[in-house]
Chain A
Amino acid sequence: MIEYCVLALLRDGERYGFELVRTLSEVPGMVTSEGTLYPLLSRLRRAGVVETSWRESPSGPPRRYYHLTASGRAVLEAFSGEWASFRDAVDHFLEQEKNA
């Protein structure tokens, strides 16, 4: 699930690893340990849905920036559609329970 959140965070432009990790970990219940997100980013890169490039940072060491590839964008769009209908379906049953 977090994979898709990463892709969604990259929809509007590139971000560097630390930025992605901190953004995700600030949402409660999303991430248990920040460190495990880096292997996840590496998997996304090897799957070809993101690409990386090194860029100098205004302060400190160079940063590795991640951006979506065309295939990453397609995966994100497909997931958005599926997720919407899945969420509606689950909501349907949850609401029924509440009404009963």
Chain B
Amino acid sequence: MNAATLHPLARDYLKRLKKAAANLPRARRKELIEEIESHLSEALPAGASETEARNVLERLGEPAEIVAEAGAGQALAPRAGLNEWLAIPFLLIGGVIIPVLGWFIGVVLLWSSRIWTVRDKLIGTLVIPAGLATTVFLLLGVGTVSGESCSSKTVTTVGSRTVKTLSANSDCVTSGGGANYLAIALAVLLVLLPVFTSIYLGRRLTRTNTAE
């Protein structure tokens, strides 16, 4: 069906109908819009006068009225709102922007949602607590700790004997090099896990909209 062949007023009407039908289950919305579009192309040739067009649209009724009829007889499934879409970024990076509290806001939003299941909420909370803030904190923490141990070794060895300074330094470098692979793998995991959780939570939100 080609919307371009419709009368301009009919196109405008369809646009309003699509907007009004946004909360209907996807399949029902599609069916309704198809039928009304087909009705308009039957009833209203592209060259119809404005009076004719207004008459056809008046007989058809207001989009809101038609959508109300289409939604009747079924409880509308709760749809993801602003709270859900805010919960995800707060869980992921809230803790980085506002330490602890930012993530905590995300958790409150997550658990107050009527769309996610308890399983979703547990995953959202536990993988990983505080989200990327934990990653940032751990990575900075690991960096500082290994740095400190090296420098303190150097300092003590420098204090006792100059000969051991070299060996202590090389120890420090080799142990640091071995730990690097592990640290990188851990870092990648720590970044990916919270990101995957966010993607998962987002997908769960869009999935509920397709259910009829």
Instruction: Point out residues on A near B: beta carbons under 8 Å.
Output: 17-18, 21-22, 25, 32-36, 38-43, 60-64
Contacts and interface: CB of A to CB of B under 8 A. Distances in A.
B12 interface: no
Nearest to A43: B73
26 contacts: A17-B39, A33-B59, A33-B61, A33-B65, A33-B66, A34-B60, A34-B61, A35-B39, A35-B60, A35-B62, A35-B65, A36-B61, A36-B66, A36-B69, A38-B39, A39-B32, A39-B69, A39-B70, A42-B31, A42-B32, A42-B35, A43-B73, A60-B41, A64-B34, A64-B35, A64-B38
* Overall SS of chain A's interface: helix
Contacts of B72: 39
Contacts of A41: 35
A38 B66 contact: yes
A22 to B, nearest CB: 8
A34 B13 CA distance: 14
B35 A34 contact: no
Given A34-B60, A42-B31, A17 B69 contact: no
Nearest to A32: B61
A36 to B, nearest CB: 4
Interface secondary structure of B, over-half rule: helix
Contacts of A21: 39
B41 A34 contact: no
Interface in B36-53: 36, 38-39, 41-43
Interface of B: 1-2, 28, 31-32, 34-36, 38-39, 41-43, 59-63, 65-66, 69-70, 72-73
Given A17-B38, A42-B31, 13 more contacts: A21-B39, A33-B66, A35-B60, A35-B62, A35-B66, A36-B66, A38-B32, A38-B39, A39-B72, A41-B35, A43-B73, A64-B34, A64-B35
Contact of B60 (A33, A42, A62, A64): A33
B43 to A, nearest CB: 7
Contacts of A17: 35, 38-39
A58 B61 CA distance: 28
Contact of B61 (A22, A35, A61, A63): A35
Contacts of A64: 34-35, 38
Contacts of A62: 1
Contacts of B35: 17, 38, 41-42, 64
Contacts of B69: 35-36, 39-40
B59 A25 contact: yes
A18 to B, nearest CB: 4
Pick from B1, B28, B31, B73 the residue with the most CB of A within 10 Å: B31
Contacts of B42: 18, 60
B4 to A, nearest CB: 12
Contacts of B60: 33-35
A84 to B, nearest CB: 28
